[in-house]
Amino acid sequence: MLQNNLLRNISQGQICKAIGVKVVTSNEIILLAKAAGYDSVFIDLEHSVLTLEDMGRLCSTSLLSGITPFVRVPRECGRGFVQRVLDGGAMGIVFPHISTVEEAQLAVSMTKYPPRGQRSLTAALPQYDFQRVSAKDLIPQLNSIGSTVIIQVETKTCLENIDAIAAVEGVEVLLLGANDLSLELGILGEWEHSLFHNALDTIAAAVRKGGKIFGIAGLYSRPDISKHAVQVLGAKYVLGHLDIGLLAVAMNKNVEQLSALDK
């Protein structure tokens, strides 16, 4: 069984550094992420046109490279879609726009095998290099470390229900979706606003109370707030940036350097 870097890093007192992929579909993006030192790849099927074939290839390359692949699925995509993503090599599912306990329970049900959920069993999974593994070994391993349930906190209703959602058995990570949450709160991009910082504190408190993992996403331009979330609030999973954002930043910097050549 390949290891889950999120759980491994937490056990060693370290954060899990993730890169998001929503544009680049070639294996090279995973190899570059590995060389850079990322621990996890966040494959985005919600805000992209990536196919399941793209996702499977990226997951397989991640697994072979020792990077843990988590996949964000589209909102309300259904049990069958989640099944295909997991069978395609994902080590965890990111569920966006979860607002209620019932939705969180459904997310667990779709992701975990019985008795914890209702995931369907198949053989020859990429997580095991397509080797045959007995069900009595596969099910407890995948349930415990190979099918992480990541709930995105990005609605006001989710904030209102956060303690109850954090108490749901099988939910492992509460992931701040900074942009959508600030949009719902009516303070889009106002990272200094008291409503936003109160939301951060509320999520962190629920995580501690429920014994879950705190993750942050969307704060790519605010390393100061990310540092506060990690060092003060205890965040352990940090989405550093998306591939398209990193490319844009690097290209803009490069053009500045080139433009300065003739000045």
Residues annotated as catalytic are 47
- Three-state SS string over the chain comes to CCCCHHHHHHHCCCCEEEEEECCCCCCHHHHHHHHHCCCEEEEECCCCCCCHHHHHHHHHHHHHHCCEEEEECCCCCCHHHHHHHHHCCCCEEEECCCCCHHHHHHHHHHHCCCCCCCCCCCCCCHHHCCCCCCHHHHHHHHHHHCCEEEEEECCHHHHHCHHHHHCCCCCCEEEEEHHHHHHHCCCCCCCCCHHHHHHHHHHHHHHHHHCCEEEEECCCCCHHHHHHHHHCCCCCEEEEEEHHHHHHHHHHHHHHHHHHHHC
How many C-beta atoms lie closer than 10 Å to residue 215's C-beta? 30
**Distance between CA atoms of residues 179 and 217, nearest Å:** 8
**Distance between CA atoms of residues 6 and 39, nearest Å:** 8
Of 198, 208, 204, the residue nearest 216 (C-alpha): 204
